[in-house]
Every structure is written in structure tokens, then in C-alpha cells.
Amino acid sequence: MYYRFFAITFFLLLPYLLNAQAYDLVIKNGRVIDGTGNPWIYADVAIQNGRIVRVGRIASTNAKRIIDATGLMVAPGFIDVHTHVEGDLEVQPGAPNFVYDGVTTLITGNCGDSHTNLRTYFDTLRAKGISVNLASLVGHNAVRLRVMKTAFRDPTAREQAEMETLVEQAMKDGAVGISTGLIYTPGTYAHTPEIISLAKMASRYGGVYASHIRNEGQNVKQAIEEAILISREAHIPVEISHFKVASKPLWGKSVETIELVEAARREGLDVTVDQYPYTASSTSLASIIPSWALADGDSMVLTRFHNPATRTKIRTEMLETLAKNVRKNYEYAVVSYYGADTTFNGLSISRINQKLGRKNTAETEADLVMDMMERCHMEHVQMVYHTMSETDVETIMRYSNTMIASDAGVSVFGSGMPHPRGYGTNARVLGRYVRERKVIPLEEAVRRMTSLPAQRFQLTDRGLLRPGYAADIILFNEKIVSDRATYEQPHAYTTGINWVLVNGTPIIDNGKHTGQRSGQLLMGPGYEK
């Protein structure tokens, strides 16, 4: 009898006991977008020990802290699936350009560029502490460079085995997959069978194949087909990076490139894509040069530049590429950062050519590109290329399997003229494409930035607001959230994202960066301690 009395009493008091539970932090009165794509609901979110422990109405609590989210959206922290932060987080562990934009997790190692010793890299960041979570791919270019340098040939059997061993070790060290950058040296010299073999190794450990495909312009369809072939042959999920159509004659063809992806999915191949919400890309000045001319090291490249016949061949191919893309000159190519002469920053190749008093022709501009590379001693020159159409950007964004990605590193505030995507990618989607242009609904946009990337990279406790999940949470005002960075004034942080929590710790607290370093290193499925 007493047992029944106490059992009934406990059952009746249970809601009050739950509400009285001590929490580290409770977010109250917000409209919760849980990351699934479902409509928002009014709910409170309770956090304990860096984890979400309750989502629902919490009437009273003795939480250590309460954040009043009245008038704000509460969503999972954004997962940026395509970043380049090698060397950046060691210098700027707070990653302010990312966290002000609502990003709580970065996937780095993209476009074939990564550390080859990931265990050491992770240990370094773990010891230093970082404000965001980080996962990494292992880069094919980095692996090939280590084994073959910049050789323009197929690997020997021994070299292929060495590369496979490096990929295997990286997967054991925690890589979430393998990436390629097939327009860059030395990855551009690799034929498909080489990549398939390495992708098979990543697949063995549950990894993903993320690819900056071989061509995003005239031959974009063939390049997509190559990525799909690698998925088919290596039995590996594929993420096609910064999906685009970067050639004027093909503008509007994104419907057809998306259909290639959908056809692969109907076949049973797990292929998805990501994009940044801009009509300009950003990569190296060297990408304008024919890839064969960049082989075998800097000294050989300079030798080719100095040889009249070879220089003519390089120039001719550059002009042919311009003609194929219906461009008369290099006005579309704008310098982001040129260390040899920072007065070039923000100017197009055409404008620099004019500034230097050179003849106003595409031929002299092509020569200028080679001269600029030589003048900076073959160091990296970052560019912004205006090559895409707004129609294609919106078409790709409407595709349900498109994630959002910045393709950026940790920006040094005030340095150079970087692509604005490094500051405002996610806010631009929420402000321009959701609120203003109504390309996709708000809840769908959040899904593309949270649960969809978490699913793709097997981040099993991220991307949703659910009990048991990591407390990576953002609070934003959907009426005012905006990107402020522009091509002309790129150094400007996002506005309208008031709070950003990483593993339960506020990194952005009422609009201010706290400097806390609560980020974690996220290991892939093949990780061995």
C-alpha cells in the first residue's frame, strides 16, 4: 500500500522534479528549428555538461544561466562542410569570421589539400584549444605531393602503394574521408584509376570522397561523371564541392548538372553537393595557367615562362580558354592578395595591366599573369573570379541535396581583399535567399546547414536539437540576419546572430566573442586511438 502511494506521488511530482533539475544553461522562449526541416515550434532548450538534455517547455529551473530567446530563432550550430583552415586555427583559434556567421563545426582538408600527419595536427589543436569543432579529410594532392612531388605522370606500383598507406593511416588517425582538387597540381596529373584506388582505401574505413572536380566550366558534365564513376567503383559516398557552372556559354545548364547527380542517386549511389551563395569563386592565380606548365617544381615552371616557344604555347592556351568562355580579357579575375605588391589587391588583371601602362590586349594580360607569378617567386596568389550566374546559384540552392559551404579559411581581419564568403556565407543564405528572395524556406535552409552535413560526414551527435546531442546551438533574428561583407569591402562580420554555443559554452555571447575554446576534434568512423 505504501509502495503504491509513493509510486503515485512520484509519478505526479515527476514533471516538477524535471523542471527543478539543475541545468548549466537554459534557452527559454525561443522558436526552435530542430534541423530536420520541420516547422519551428516554441520550446525551451536545457543544457548540461555540454549536451542537450531537454527540449520542450521548462516552467521553472535553477539553471546556472538562462538566456531569454524571445523573438529569436534557436537552431543547431551550422556545419561548414568545405573549409581550408590548415595553419589558420593555430594562429587564430577563435575563428571569429566563422562563429559570427553561426558556424560551430568545420570540415577542413578539402580540394586535395590537408596535413598528411593528421594525428599530429589534431594533437596540436587539442593542446592549443579552438573555439569551433573540427573534422578533416585527407587530401589527395598532399599525399601525391609527399610521394611523387609534382611529377606529371602516373604513379609506379610502389608509389601507388605508398599513397594508399598514407590514406589508410590518415583514416586511422581520424580523417572523415579523402578529398581531391583535380584542377590543382599535382592532383590534376592523376588519372581516374589512381583516385579510385585511394578512394577504396578511404571507403574501407567508412570515409567520404569530397571532390573539387576536374572541370567546372566547359567540361563540367564530364567532370561530374568522373566523380560518379569513382563513387560507383570505390563504393564510397561522394560530395561534389562548390557545385557550379563556371562558363558563360553554359549558364543555365545547372538543371542538367543536377540531373546527373539525381540520376546517380536513382542508381543507388550516394552523391550530394555543396555550394557557396555567390556568383564569384576564389582560388589561385596559377589556376589560369595550363596545368602541364606547372609540373616538376617552380624552377621548371620559370624555365617554361622564359622559353619563348613554350611561353607562346602557354599564352595561346590561355587565350583559347578565354575564347571558349566568351571572355575578351581578364577583367573577371580580381586579385585578392598579392604579397609582392599589395596595391594590386582588389584590382582585376585587366586593371593592373592598364595601371602598369602595358598594351591593352588579352595577350599582354596573359603575359602579366606569368610575370606576376615570377615576381612573387611562385608564391600563392589568391584571386576572386566572377564566372557564375545568379540563376544557376539559385537553381542549385533549390536542389534538396545541396549543403551550404564557405570554401574559406580563418580570415585575418583587414588583410587583403578576400572573397566575402569567408565572413557571410550562412547569413547571406538566411538574409538574401530565404528572407528576401524566398528561394528556399527558413527551416529547409537550416537543414542544409545542420543535419544534412552532419549526416554526410557521419557526425552522429551533431546537427539536430535533440536530447543527447552536443549543445552546438545558435540564436538568431531571422528578420535582420544579414551578411555585411561585400567584394568591395569584404572585412565585415555577420549581424543578427546573437548567440553561438559550442558544446554548451557561449562563444558568441549577446553579439560578442568570448574567446572561449570549447571546440572538439571530431574523428571519422575509422579512427583508432
Question: Quick one: pLDDT at residue 404?
Answer: 98
Question: Quick one: pLDDT at residue 4?
Answer: 56
pLDDT over 70 percentage in the chain: 96
Question: Quick one: pLDDT at residue 216?
Answer: 98
* Residues paired with residue 285 on neighbouring β-strands, in sequence order: none
* pLDDT surpassing 70 at residue 16: no
Which residue from 103, 67, 95 is spatially nearest to 513, judged by alpha carbons?
A: 95
Residues 6+ apart with CB under 8 A from 73: 30, 31, 32, 33, 40, 442, 475, 476, 477, 478
- Tens of pLDDT, residue by residue over 188-223, are 999 999 999 999 999 999 999 999 999 999 999 999
| Whether 417 contacts 346, CB under 8 Å | yes
Read off the pLDDT band of 10 (50, 70, 90). very low
Question: Quick one: pLDDT at residue 60?
Answer: 73
Look over the chain and give the mean of its residue pLDDT values, rounded to a whole number. 96
- Tens of pLDDT, residue by residue over 374-392, are 999 999 999 999 999 999 9
* pLDDT surpassing 80 at residue 19: no
CA distance linking residue 303 with residue 41, whole number of Å: 64
CA distance linking residue 335 with residue 284, whole number of Å: 9
Phi, psi for residue 264 in degrees, rounded to 5: -65, -40
Question: Quick one: pLDDT at residue 267?
Answer: 98
* pLDDT surpassing 70 at residue 12: no
CA distance linking residue 250 with residue 219, whole number of Å: 10
- Tens of pLDDT, residue by residue over 131-142, are 999 999 999 999
* pLDDT surpassing 80 at residue 301: yes
- Tens of pLDDT, residue by residue over 50-87, are 999 999 999 777 899 999 999 999 999 999 999 999 99
Work out the average pLDDT over 164-193: 98
- Tens of pLDDT, residue by residue over 219-277, are 999 999 999 999 999 999 999 999 999 999 999 999 999 999 999 999 999 999 999 99
Work out the average pLDDT over 498-520: 98
CA distances for 36 relative to 15, 166, 443, angstroms: 27, 36, 8
Identity at 516, one-letter amino acid code: Q
Give residue for cell 589512381.
Answer: 194
Question: Quick one: pLDDT at residue 20?
Answer: 55
* Residues paired with residue 275 on neighbouring β-strands, in sequence order: 404
CA distance linking residue 116 with residue 120, whole number of Å: 9
Question: Quick one: pLDDT at residue 95?
Answer: 98
| Whether 386 contacts 251, CB under 8 Å | no
Read off the pLDDT band of 430 (50, 70, 90). very high
Question: Quick one: pLDDT at residue 62?
Answer: 84
Which residue from 313, 327, 316 is spatially nearest to 218, judged by alpha carbons?
A: 327
CA distance linking residue 507 with residue 513, whole number of Å: 6
Q: Which residue has the higher pLDDT, 349 or 61?
A: 349
Residues 6+ apart with CB under 8 A from 478: 73, 430, 434, 435, 442, 496
CA distance linking residue 310 with residue 323, whole number of Å: 20
Read off the pLDDT band of 307 (50, 70, 90). very high
Determine whether 91 is exposed, middle or buried from the number of CB atoms within 10 Å of its CB (0-12, 13-18, 19+). exposed
Which residue from 376, 280, 381 is spatially nearest to 332, judged by alpha carbons?
A: 280
Q: For 2-6, 483-487, 518-522, which range has the lowest pLDDT when averaged over its residues?
A: 2-6
